[in-house]
Structure 1
Amino acid sequence: MSVKGTRPLAEIYERAQVAILEPCSFEEAEADEGWKQAMVEEIKMSQKSQTWELVERPTNRKIIGVKWVYRAKQNADGSLNKLKGRLVVKGFSQRYGLDYMETFAPVAKLDTIRLLVALAAQK
């Protein structure tokens, strides 16, 4: 007799054997076709949304490096949903006052959005 909300031990072991290994380096990801496709999709999305622009390398400035971060997205049942590659900037290498003077994140607070919607509805 099983207790409500529990699973058989065999099912737990079966799920534990289906671990998806995420690559730790670009070289590991490049060797797998699924991860290569995930990186291509990330580059396409960056180009589509115009989030970056290729420029000449400055001679008098320090270059900030980039790194690929890999995640295997899973469904609620534990099955693979998709492989996700994200290209991120190594911002930790910057120093305030030397590499940048101010920070800016274009994020609106929920209260601000509510105020704008209320004003628009009133007008």
Structure 2
Amino acid sequence: MLQDVKSYLGRCFAIKDLGDAAYIFGIKIYRDRSRWLIGLCQSVYNEKILKRYHMENFKRGSIPMQDKLRLSKSQSASTPDELKRMQNVPYASAVGSIMYVVRCTRPDVALAQNITSQFQHNLGDIKRELRVSCYSNAGYLTDADDLKSQTGYVFVLNGGAVDRKSDKKSIFATSSAEAEYIVAFDASNEAV
């Protein structure tokens, strides 16, 4: 079927087959043919954004938007010192850079981008404290056939799970306490 489309286009237009596309408009195309998956990724563009705004060394992760987030103009810069400092912050440019990502590959962050774009005229210091909670558990000898334990953990931020894992361990635990230590170690590694 693909060859039929290519030959039809070749009859209508002067084309050259360059093989599988790897990038289009700066967006990486990745495939896993064995699992029938295809995806788009803008990680190179995202890295450029982070570098442009001196955020390349910040810790990264998935963060759900805070439930019932209330932003208002009263949080904006109000004193002369705050207003002067905010004149040097390229906030509108950063929001615009994120808008390109939202339109191309990340519609999931459109609401957050839209809300923050409403405050482009005078952002001020809007600071959010991020409290991440981690819960872990282990089931000792959950598989009677091979005597291995099932373990899991979940990280929660703003009431939403941001990371989780559940698996059967490849090592044997000699007690339920040891199984709990193993999953606590795994969760702490993930946290770091």
TM-score by length of 2: 0.20
Higher relative contact order (CA 8 A, sep 6+): 1
Higher Cα radius of gyration: 2
More strand by share: 2
